Structure 1
Amino acid sequence: MERYPPIADHGLVGDLQTAALVSSQGVIDWFAAPRFDSPSIFASLLDHDGGGHFLLAPEHPEGTWRQLYYPDTGVVVTRFMSPDGVGEIIDYMPVLPGPTASDRHSLVRIVRSVRGTVRFRLVCRPRFDYARATHELDLTPDTATFRAPGTTAFLQSTIPLERDEQDVRGAITLNGGESAAAVFTVCAPGGEAPPPPTTERITEELWENIAFWHGWVRTSRYHGRWTDMVHRSAITLKLLTYAPTGAPVAAATMGLPEQVGGERNWDYRYTWVRDGSLSVRALLDLGFVEEAARFTRWLGDRLSAREGPDDEPLQIMYRVDGDPHLTEEILEHFEGYRGSYPVRAGNAASDQLQLDIYGEALYALAEGREIGEQTGYHGWKALAGTLDWLVDSWDRPDEGIWETRGGRQDFTYSRVMCWAAFDRGLRLAATFRRPADTVRWTQARDAILEQVMERGWNDKEQALVQHYGGDVLDASLLLAPRVGFIAPRSPGWLNTLDAMDRVLVSDSLVYRYDPQASPDGLRGSEGTFSLCTFLYVDALARAGRLPQARYTFEKMQTYANHVGLFAEEIGPSGEQLGNFPQAFTHLSLIMAATTLDEALDGPHH
C-alpha cells in the first residue's frame, strides 16, 4: 500500500448523499458518512498511519494496474494483471432512492479472478470521527461489527474474516471466474446488519446501479465533440450533489493541499452559492432541468430564511442541508497529505463578505423559464428584497471570489457580478411581470458599469484588473463576457484577454492571479487553477479565437486523471493538487465544451 498515492490516483464512488475515493491499487483512503460533510471513517489520505483505510487487493501486487469507470456510470473497475492471473475489483455505492436522507450507506466491493489464480487480501481499519473516537469490534466468521460513539458499521464478506486487534483482515484465493464480495455499511447506533451478501444479490444490485446511471445519462441532450468528457463531468457533478436537498458540494474531500507541504488546505465538502449557481447553467446546457431546478429551490429557501431587512441575505456557503454553521477547527493529530499541515475541518471563510454571490445567484434563477416560473410570490418577494438590499450594499470592499485572507478590497469581479444581479433581476421582473423597484435597480446597474470601466481599468496593463487602484490581473473576470457585462469582441475585452495571456497563462494553463503580486494573507504558492483554464476556453471561443480555444480545451483534457477527473489545480509538474474531484472544474468543463461546440458549429467557422 503506497504511503500517499497521488491525489489524482483515484476514482470516485457515491450514493448521492456521500462519496468515497478508491485508489488505483484497491484502497478506500477517503470516506465520510452519513453525509459528505460528516466526520471521516477512512482518511489515510490525510494521515497514512492513523486515518484509517479499507484495502482489498491482490496479496502480491507486483504487476500492472489499470483503473476505469464502467462506461457512463459511477462504478469503478480496478484491474490487476500479472503472469499468474488477472484480478478485478469492482467498487460502487448503491444509489439511494428518492429525496429522503438516509443513515445507512454501503460501500460494495467485488473481487474476482478474470483469468488464472489470484489471491486477494482484505484489511479494514475504520477510524471514526476523524480518528478521534475509539471503537469496539464484534466478529463472526462473515460479519464484523464496529461500534463507535454515534455510529455503527458492519463489514460483511464472503471472504473469511479474522480479528487484527480492533480491526479485521482476511484473504481468499480465487481461480478463473470465481468471485467474492465485501460490503461495508454505516448506520446509526443500534442499527441492524443488512442481509449477508450473496453472489446473486450483489450481481443484481450491480446491474441495477449500472442501469440507473445509463438511464440518467440518456436524458442528456449533449451530442457535441467531447461526449465522453462532458458526460463524465456530468456524472461527477451528480455524484457530488446531496440528493435530499439538491445542493452540490464543492468537492468530495477536505484538507488536500494546493501546494504539497503548504498551509492552503481547506474543507470543500460544503455548498457554495457561487459554485452551485454556476452548475445550474452547466446542467441546463445538458438538459438536466430537474437537477438545476432543485438547486434553485434550495437557493430560494436560503433567501427566504433571511431574518431581517438589514441582515446579509446570503452566506457564501452552507452545509448541504442549509445549516449556516461551519465552524473551522484544526485536526492537530493528522499530519496531512504528505505532511501538508494543518488539516482543517469546517471553513471559516463562510463568514466572509463576497458580494459576487448575488450575481451568480440571480444568474442561476434567470437561466431558464422552467426555473423562473417556479419562483412564486413569496419567493419573488425574498428575491426582490435581496436586490433592494444590494442597491445600498454593492459599493463596499469585500474579500472577493478567491476567499483571500489578506483584507477587503474593491474587487472588480465582485462589482461585475453585482451588475449581473441587477441585470438579471430586471429581466425576471419584466418576464414574469413582478413588482420591483426597477428605477433603483436600473440606476445601480448603470452606476456599477460606469464605475468598473473607470476604476477597474488599468491604463498601463490595458486591461480590467483584480481590484480598483491595482495592476494585478485576475482570471475570475473571464466570466464578464459570459454574463453580458462586456461584449466578448470589444477592443477593451480583447486587450484584457491579451494581457491575461501574457501574465496568467502558462502553456495553455491559467493561474487565477499571482499571489506574490497580490498578497492573499497565506504563505506559499499554488498551481494553475483548472476552473480558470476552462473559463479561458469559454472566453476565447466567445472572442472568436477558435483555434486557440480548441487547442487549450483539448490540451487541458490531457491533464485529467486516468478516469477523467480533475482536482482543483495543476502543479508545476503536471500533478493534480487540491481537493478532489472538484465540482467547479467539471461544471466549467461543461460550460466550455458547449460554448466551443456552438462556436465551431457557427456559420462563420
Structure 2
Amino acid sequence: MTQQPSIRDLGIVGDRRTAALVTRAGSVVWYCPGRFDAPSLLAGLLDPGRGGEWRVEGEVTPLRRAYLGDSGVLETRVATPAGEVTLVDFMPYGPQVPRGVCRLVRGPAGATLVLTPAPDYARRPPRLTRGGDAVRIDGDCWLSASHPLDVEGGAVRLSIPAGESGWALLGDRPAGTANPEAWLDTTLTAWRGVAAETSYSGPYEEAVRGSLRALRLLTFEETGSVISAATTSLPEVIGAGRNYDYRYVWFRDSGMIVRALSLLSPGQKGTLGRGFLDFVCRSASGRDLERPLPPLATVCGKDAPDVEELPLAGYRESRPVRIGNTAVSQVQLDVYGNILLASAGLYGWAELEEHWSVLGPVAEYLCGHWQDPDNGIWEEEERLPYLSSKVLGAVGLERLAGLHPDPATGERWRAVAGDIRAWVAAHGLTSEGAFAAVAGEETVDVVAALYPAWGYCAPDAPEMRATLRVLEREWCREGLYWRALREKDTGEGAFLAGTLWVALYWTALDPGRARQMLETVLEYANDLGLIAEEADPASGALLGNFPQTFVHAALLGVIAELT
C-alpha cells in the first residue's frame, strides 16, 4: 500500500465478534482477530509501511462494490492489467463455520493476493511456518487457501491462475476440508435472520439499511453490546493528537442506540431493552454502586484498559496511536440519567423488576451526587457543572419514579428531579436565555438540541428557541454543526451526530427543515452507507473513527420521527 486510503473509501465486514476494514481497491487494512478490541494482525490503516495488510498485487483500479442484500458480505470489483477481478469478502458467521476472514476470488483474469501480517499492533515481526497446506502465523492464526501458498520473508502469496477461481481463509485454525461456498451460504442465511429482527420500509430506505447494517456489524453478539466504532486513532483532526480508541461500549451511546432502534421498529422494543439492561447489569455486577460507574466498558462488561501508545506512524502521520481509553476513569453523570431514561422508556415496572438491583442504586447515586461536577458528555479533562448531565439526571429520575413499586421512593426521586430543574432554571441559562453548556457560562453546546427529545422541555419553549438561535449563529456552517469543546480552536470537523440532533429537534416544528439537514448529513455517507464521526465540509473528507454507531443511531432517530 503506497498511501493510506481515505476514510470514505473504507468498507467493513464482520461476524458480530470482530471486524475487518476493506478498501475500494480490495485491501484489508484493519483486522483484530477474535474480538473488536483484540490486538490487530493487520493495521496498515494506521501505518502503511509496517502495519500489515492483505492486498491484491499489482496495479488495481476500483470499479464498484456493494453488500449482498442486508448481510455483512462485501463484493468488490476491481480492474487489474490482466482484467476484471471480483472479491467476495466476509467473515463466516453462523453454525459450523470457521472463524476468520474469508476471501473468494472470482473472474477470468486471476489474481495474486499478498498477506503481510503484523502481529500485536506490529510490535513484533510475524513468525510464518508451514503446517500441511496452510501457513501458521505467530501460532495464533492460519492462512489456508485453494492454491499453493508461497512464503517470502514476512509475506504469504496466493496466486490464482487466469481462468480459475480461488479462495483464502485467515482463520483461527487450518481450514481442513474446506467448502467456502457453503460457508458463504451459511453466512448469508445467518445475516438474513439478524436483519429480520429489525426491518424497515419507507422513506430513506437505503440510508436506514446502511445504518442498521453498521449497528449489526458493530454488535458483539455474545453480550448484545454495541461498540462505538471498529477502529482506534483515526484522527478527529489530522496531525493534532485528537486520536482515541473507540472499540468499547459507552453506556450513554448504547442507551441512545436502543431508543432509536425501538422507535424505528417498535415490535423489537422489549428485546432491545432487555439486551441493553442485561449488559448494564452485567457491567455493574460486583461493583460498589455507591461509587460512579465508568462511562464505558469492554464488550464483555469489564473495565477498558489503561491508555498505551503504539509505535505506529498514525493515519496520515496523526500521532499518537492509542489503545485503551482514559475516559474509563472519568465521572460522567449523564451516563446515569441515560441508563434510567432508556430503561423507563423501554419497559414497564414488571419487566424491570429483575433489574431493580442495579437501577435503584443508579437512581440513588444520582440523588446524592447530581450537584457534583463531572467530565461531561465530551469527556473534558476539567470537571465542571455540565448542564446536560443535570438535565439527563432530572428526566431519568422522573421517568423511573413513575415505575417504582414504592410510592414514597418515587416521590422522593421526583422531588430530587424538581430540585435539579430549579437549579437549572437558576444557574443554567445564558444572558440570552439559552441553555448553557456549563452553568454560569455563556457557551451553548449542540447536545442541548436533545433536551426536548429527552422530555425535559417542549421544543418551542423559550429556552429552546434561544438555544437554537445561538447554535445556528455560532456553531453552524454550511448546514453542519460543531461541538463546543473547552479546548479552543481544535480544528476538528463538523460533528455529524450533533447535526442530526438538531435535525431531530426540527422534526417537531419544521419537518422540511429537518429533512434538509438529514440530507446534508447523508451527503457524507460513503457508497456503502457508512459514516464517520466527523466531516470536513471544505474538502468533503470524513474524520474520526469509523463507522461511528453514535452517528448511525442519530440518523435512525431522525428518520423514525419523520415517518
Give TM-score scaled by structure 1 length. 0.88
State the number of aligned residues.
559
Q: Which aligned pairs between 1:170-569 and structure 2 lie closer than 5 A?
A: 170-175=158-163, 178-186=164-172, 192-197=173-178, 201-287=179-265, 288-289=268-269, 290-307=271-288, 310-312=290-292, 314-331=293-310, 333-369=311-347, 373-377=350-354, 379-405=355-381, 407-429=382-404, 433-434=405-406, 437-460=409-432, 462-513=433-484, 515=485, 518-519=486-487, 524-542=490-508, 544-569=509-534
Q: Which residue of 2 aligns with 1:578?
A: 544
Q: Does 1:137 align with 2:122?
A: no
Query: Which residue identity is paired with 1:560?
Result: A
Residues 436 and 112 of structure 1: CA distance in aligned 2, closer, same or farther (over 3 Å): farther
Q: Distance in 2 between matches of 1:300 and 1:374?
A: 14
Query: Which residue identity is paired with 1:17?
Result: R
Instruction: Verify the 8 A CA contact 2:26 2:87 in the aligned structure 1.
Output: yes
Shift of 1:58: 5.9
Instruction: Verify the 8 A CA contact 2:151 2:157 in the aligned structure 1.
Output: yes
Instruction: Verify the 8 A CA contact 1:141 1:162 in the aligned structure 2.
Output: no
What is the aligned counterpart of 2:99 among 77, 99, 105? 105
Shift of 1:327: 0.8
Q: Distance in 2 between matches of 1:78 and 1:341?
A: 31
Shift of 1:325: 4.1
Query: Which residue identity is paired with 2:73?
Result: V
Shift of 1:360: 1.0
Q: Distance in 1 between matches of 2:125 and 2:406?
A: 57
Secondary structure in structure 2 of the residue aligned to 1:261: coil
Q: Distance in 2 between matches of 1:493 and 1:524?
A: 27
* Larger mean Cα displacement after TM superposition, 246-255 or 319-328: 319-328
Q: Distance in 2 between matches of 1:583 and 1:58?
A: 33
Secondary structure in structure 2 of the residue aligned to 1:498: helix
Residues 82 and 168 of structure 1: CA distance in aligned 2, closer, same or farther (over 3 Å): closer
Shift of 1:373: 3.9
Give TM-score scaled by structure 2 length. 0.95
Q: Which residue of 1 aligns with 2:58?
A: 59
Secondary structure in structure 2 of the residue aligned to 1:478: helix
Q: Distance in 1 between matches of 2:462 and 2:362?
A: 34
What is the aligned counterpart of 2:71 among 60, 70, 73? 73
Shift of 1:438: 2.3
Q: Distance in 2 between matches of 1:119 and 1:60?
A: 14
Q: Distance in 1 between matches of 2:402 and 2:17?
A: 35
Secondary structure in structure 2 of the residue aligned to 1:223: coil
Instruction: Verify the 8 A CA contact 1:14 1:20 in the aligned structure 2.
Output: yes
Secondary structure in structure 2 of the residue aligned to 1:547: helix
Secondary structure in structure 1 of the residue aligned to 2:274: helix
Shift of 1:300: 2.1
Instruction: Verify the 8 A CA contact 1:352 1:403 in the aligned structure 2.
Output: yes
Identity of aligned residues (%): 33
Query: Which residue identity is paired with 1:21?
Result: L
* Larger mean Cα displacement after TM superposition, 18-27 or 135-144: 135-144
Instruction: Verify the 8 A CA contact 2:59 2:81 in the aligned structure 1.
Output: no
Secondary structure in structure 2 of the residue aligned to 1:162: strand
Secondary structure in structure 1 of the residue aligned to 2:403: helix
Shift of 1:267: 0.3
Q: Distance in 1 between matches of 2:19 and 2:11?
A: 10
Q: Does 1:146 align with 2:122?
A: no
Q: Does 1:123 align with 2:109?
A: no
Q: Which residue of 2 aligns with 1:600?
A: none
Instruction: Verify the 8 A CA contact 2:401 2:411 in the aligned structure 1.
Output: no
Secondary structure in structure 1 of the residue aligned to 2:255: helix
Residues 421 and 305 of structure 1: CA distance in aligned 2, closer, same or farther (over 3 Å): farther
Instruction: Verify the 8 A CA contact 1:58 1:118 in the aligned structure 2.
Output: no
Q: Which aligned pairs between 1:33-44 and structure 2 lie closer than 5 A?
A: 33-44=33-44
Write out per-residue CA displacement over residues 107-154 of structure 1, whole angstroms, 9 at most, x where no aligned residue. Answer: 0101111xxx42412111111111123432123684111124xxx111
Q: Which residue of 2 aligns with 1:603?
A: none
Q: Distance in 1 between matches of 2:197 and 2:496?
A: 27
Instruction: Verify the 8 A CA contact 1:79 1:86 in the aligned structure 2.
Output: yes
Shift of 1:558: 1.3
Secondary structure in structure 1 of the residue aligned to 2:41: strand
Secondary structure in structure 2 of the residue aligned to 1:482: helix
Q: Distance in 2 between matches of 1:48 and 1:106?
A: 22
Residues 84 and 154 of structure 1: CA distance in aligned 2, closer, same or farther (over 3 Å): closer
Shift of 1:227: 1.5
Secondary structure in structure 1 of the residue aligned to 2:21: strand
* Larger mean Cα displacement after TM superposition, 434-443 or 320-329: 434-443
Q: Distance in 1 between matches of 2:556 and 2:214?
A: 11
Q: Distance in 2 between matches of 1:489 and 1:59?
A: 59
Q: Distance in 1 between matches of 2:236 and 2:521?
A: 18
Ranges in structure 2 where 5+ consecutive residues have no aligned partner: none
Instruction: Verify the 8 A CA contact 1:318 1:326 in the aligned structure 2.
Output: no
Residues 292 and 89 of structure 1: CA distance in aligned 2, closer, same or farther (over 3 Å): farther
Q: Distance in 2 between matches of 1:90 and 1:64?
A: 14
Query: Which residue identity is paired with 1:389?
Result: Y
Ranges in structure 1 where 5+ consecutive residues have no aligned partner: 187-191, 598-605
Q: Distance in 1 between matches of 2:42 and 2:406?
A: 50
Query: Which residue identity is paired with 1:182?
Result: A
Shift of 1:173: 2.8
Write out per-residue CA displacement over residues 214-267 of structure 1, whole angstroms, 9 at most, x where no aligned residue. Answer: 333233343220112112211211111111111111100001100111100000
* Larger mean Cα displacement after TM superposition, 133-142 or 220-229: 133-142
